[in-house]
Amino acid sequence: MRKLPASTVMSLVVVAVTVLAFAVTWVIRDDLELRVIDVVLPVVALAGVLLRERWPVGALITVIAATLAYFPLSSLDAPIIFLPFVVLYTAAERGHLIAAVTTGSVALLAMGLGETGDVRHVDDGAFIMIAGWVVAAIAAGSVTRNRRAYLQEAERRVREAEHGKEEEARRRAGEERLRIARELHDVLGHNISLINVQASAALHGLKKRPDDAERALRTIKETSKETLRELRTTLGVLRQVDEDAPTAPADSLARLDSLVGASGLAVRTELSGPLDRVPVEVDLAATRIIREALTNVARHSAAGEATLAVAADDGRVLIRVDDDGPGVPFTEGSGYGLVGMRERATALGGSLEAGPRPEGGFRVLASLPLDGAS
């Protein structure tokens, strides 16, 4: 069963009580003759009460006009004096405060002027009481409207706060997924590419250069072991498994020899500046960029050698990786390598450029501010 709105229920109650009071008054005053105006004006006022939700200002004017005309013209003292209070409250509650104040003031003024003659319908005490009820009805409607607006604003802010929290959670989740994907690409992509290069070298030199083949197989073994360790560590973090921390030291600019040696390339290094005092975040980003750049040299450069220059100077870490290959952009077929390196650089307020060199080959140039972690 459909539930009626509270305003509709109140309207029906007001109408029912008014009709009942009118009928009782008529029965008690059976010595009076009922005229048309005694019925028409109360019906008009009751109709205005029923329609006040849809047309609050029109109902306000109609009900007060009918009430003001009823008492000096009718022969029956019906209790419709309470109906104007209802429409005054509704008009103020719907935001028509000026209309309610103006109409109520005009009604009190007309009522006061009408009571200056010989025949008085209300005494001074009743007039003051009616004026007080007019003010109270308008004030109650205004307070109700303000309270509803306050509650709606509070609900809106709560919804916006919840929506903001959801957006922030989604943003953080996206950033975390991107970070994990970048870490997996940097670690696994580098090691698997190295395994592939060393496996090719072992196959080519298995018969002619067995010593080189053995060295390549040993590199494959160590690299695959390192790959499994890195993968196990990453998955352990994702699963929140309490495992023993890795015993091997992390990549660092202060240990570039091990990083370069694991690349399987002939790398000529040029180092300058206090690389052992670089902030941790910058150090990690720099080594990841170097590892990815060397990985792509191994993948795409036929020369098999590269030049690595790292300098910490003037508040920045400058990284340059050059190769003498055919100059094919390593973004072709290398997935998210260049994207990941650029994201690491820009996340710290730095920059990264990559492209063919005028003299041939390919170059990766990165600039990372030393205060990028702050």
Tens digits of residue pLDDT in 267-304: 888 988 888 888 878 888 888 899 888 888 877 766 67
Strand partners, 266: 305
Report the pLDDT value the prediction gives residue 30, as an integer from 0 to 100.
Answer: 57
pLDDT in tens, 60-90: 898 888 888 877 777 666 667 788 888 899 8
pLDDT band at 309 (very low <50, low <70, confident <90, very high): very high
Q: What integer pLDDT is reported at residue 374 of this predicted model? A: 47
Tell me the domain boundaries of the chain. 6-122, 252-374
Select from 184, 175, 368, 342 the least CA-distant residue to 279.
368
Top CATH class of 252-374 equals alpha beta
**Structure confidence at residue 365 (pLDDT):** 92
Q: What is the pLDDT of residues 358-370, one digit of tens each?
A: 888 888 999 999 8
Backbone angles phi, psi at 77, to 5 degrees: -85, 75
Supply 140's token pair. Answer: 């109650």
Looking at every residue in the chain, the average pLDDT score rounds to 77
Amino acid 351 reads S
Q: Which pTM does this prediction carry? A: 0.42
State the pLDDT confidence band at 241, using cuts at 50, 70 and 90. very low
Q: Quick one: pLDDT at residue 334?
A: 46
Question: What pLDDT is attached to residue 318?
Answer: 93
Max CA separation in the chain (angstroms): 135
Which residues, including other chains, have CB under 8 Å from residue 13's CB and lie 6 or more apart? Answer: none
